[in-house]
Structure 1
Amino acid sequence: MEKRDELYAGKAKSIFATDDPDLLIMHFRDDTSAFDGEKLEQLERKGLVNNKFNAFIMSRLRDAGVPVHFERLLGDQESLVKRLDMIPVECVVRNFAAGGLVRRLGVEEGRELSPATYELFLKNDALHDPLINESVSITLGYATEQQLEEAKALSFKVNEVLTAIFRDAGILLVDYKLEFGVHNGQLMLGDEFSPDGARLWDAETREKLDKDRFRKGLGGVIEAYEEVGRRIGVTFD
């Protein structure tokens, strides 16, 4: 597999073309950001940890029947993925109240949400990823009605699979965001799943084991990511 030109550089990942037009290389950098890029740092081993964490989760989801863009690990900080036409809508599932839901609605942090809630956000840092709905998404051409229906169904399938994995490891899957894209007409889960884009709490102590440690200046960010990984079976060596 020949690595070619860089196509895109996000806040924490870079995407490279390959000699196969249907496949890309996703490079996980050590960069860490919060608040739409206002807080930036480099954390040693972050790229390696998120790459291997994501590979484990994507493989488990694929085994459960969720179509994913992940193909295979290429190295400590790189994975091979299918090229997707990404939909600019983030799908957020919440099992417990935290983050934006608490700020917007004054809900007590940690309140269990049953059934889980589902929200859509426009992926746009300049606008601070505003909350949108299905009607707006369809009218403005962000996604089709069918794509939104499939994304919602897949988001809850992911919830079913991952809630069980984390629960068995003594971890609460508080909330998470997913991004989807289209490959040869099929909707697939893209981007990544790691503690960067999910809230994960220890089930007994409610200790935060995710990116909130970086947002809130709690320290021990990568150590927390690795702790979650070890509990669910990720190998980082």
Structure 2
Amino acid sequence: MARRNKIYEGKAKILYEGPEPGTLVQYFKDDATAFNAEKRDVIDGKGALNNRLSEYFMTGLNNVGVPTHFLKRLNMREQLVRACEIIPLEVIVRNYAAGSLSTRLGIEEGTQLPRPIVEYCYKDDKLGDPLVTEEHIAAFGWASQQDMDDILSLALRVNDFMSGVMFGVGIRLVDFKIEVGRVYDGDFQRLVVADEISPDSCRLWDLETGRKLDKDVFRRDLGNLTDAYAEVARRLGVMPKGTTPMSKPTLIN
């Protein structure tokens, strides 16, 4: 097997050079990190679950006309994606108060917000991904005003889709974050949802019990992270019902 050219390695994924120009292979690791990587562990099966769940969400978004970088799943841990120029922002959409919003503003966790709130963080691990405003984004040239209008539209469309999908399986979409990339076709540029959408990048609570089904399980030591992610996969039909995840979960091909 030929050695692949590694393009980038992050906390949860590795990007390799793709088989065709303009493509990348995105590999999902089992690594789990929190608090800007101050807490870390390796969780067996996490990467495979996130690969399949991100495939599910990205495919659904593509099908409803929300463009993403996702092309196809290659195997249990890898997917083929379009190469894109990542805008250095984390785009966060909040439907309920939780996490840093509750801490910053003193709002009780779980409080429903009057409308979805969109926030932006500058992607820089060394700085702890600080919260920034549109003024910062414009001043430092990270994105144009047209880009910001398109990013806001993308984020809210993702929120509408994800909220509906999760509500249908008894899960509340509390908040989530996405990354956005630029794809070029000649002189024409368009923005797409990039990176991943998975329980790593969302807060997901059971509608009836409030049980957390996302990375807060790891952050707050609330139980087995693979069990939580597998429950999301089962409800969405990505994982067969009745399957008990062991070190490596059983997923539908």
TM-score range normalised by the length of the shorter chain: over 0.9
Instruction: Tell me which residue corresponds to 1:222.
Output: 226
Residue 145 of structure 1: CA displacement?
1.0
Instruction: Tell me which residue corresponds to 1:13.
Output: 13
Query: 3-state SS of the aligned residue for 1:149?
Result: helix
Is the 8 Å Cα contact of residues 198 and 210 (structure 1) preserved in structure 2?
yes
Instruction: Tell me which residue corresponds to 2:217.
Output: 213
* Letter of the structure 2 residue corresponding to residue 46 of structure 1: K
Instruction: Tell me which residue corresponds to 2:85.
Output: 85
Instruction: Tell me which residue corresponds to 2:29.
Output: 29
Instruction: Tell me which residue corresponds to 2:191.
Output: 187
Alignment of structure 1 residues 56-71 onto 2, 5 Å = 56-71=56-71
Is the 8 Å Cα contact of residues 4 and 19 (structure 1) preserved in structure 2?
no
Instruction: Tell me which residue corresponds to 1:202.
Output: 206
Q: TM-score, normalised by structure 1?
A: 0.97
- Identity rate, percent: 42
* Letter of the structure 2 residue corresponding to residue 89 of structure 1: L
In 1, Cα distance between equivalents of 2:132 and 2:87? 14
In 2, Cα distance between equivalents of 1:233 and 1:88? 33
Query: 3-state SS of the aligned residue for 1:143?
Result: coil
Which structure 1 residue ranges, 4+ long, deviate > 3 Å from structure 2?
none
Residue 113 of structure 1: CA displacement?
0.9
Give the superposed CA RMSD. 1.1
In 2, Cα distance between equivalents of 1:104 and 1:129? 15
In 2, Cα distance between equivalents of 1:150 and 1:4? 34
Alignment of structure 1 residues 62-211 onto 2, 5 Å = 62-184=62-184, 185-211=189-215
Residue 3 of structure 1: CA displacement?
7.2
Unpaired segments ≥5 residues, structure 1: none
In 1, Cα distance between equivalents of 2:122 and 2:21? 27
Q: TM-score, normalised by structure 2?
A: 0.91
In 1, Cα distance between equivalents of 2:19 and 2:176? 33
* Letter of the structure 1 residue corresponding to residue 174 of structure 2: V
The count of corresponding residues between Structure 1 and Structure 2 is 236
CA displacement, residues 96-128 of structure 1 (integer Å, 9 cap, x when unaligned): 100010000000100011211111111111111
CA displacement, residues 67-86 of structure 1 (integer Å, 9 cap, x when unaligned): 00000000000000000000
- In the superposition, relative to structure 1, how do residues 220 and 79 fare at CA in structure 2: closer, same or farther (>3 Å)? same
In 1, Cα distance between equivalents of 2:143 and 2:7? 23
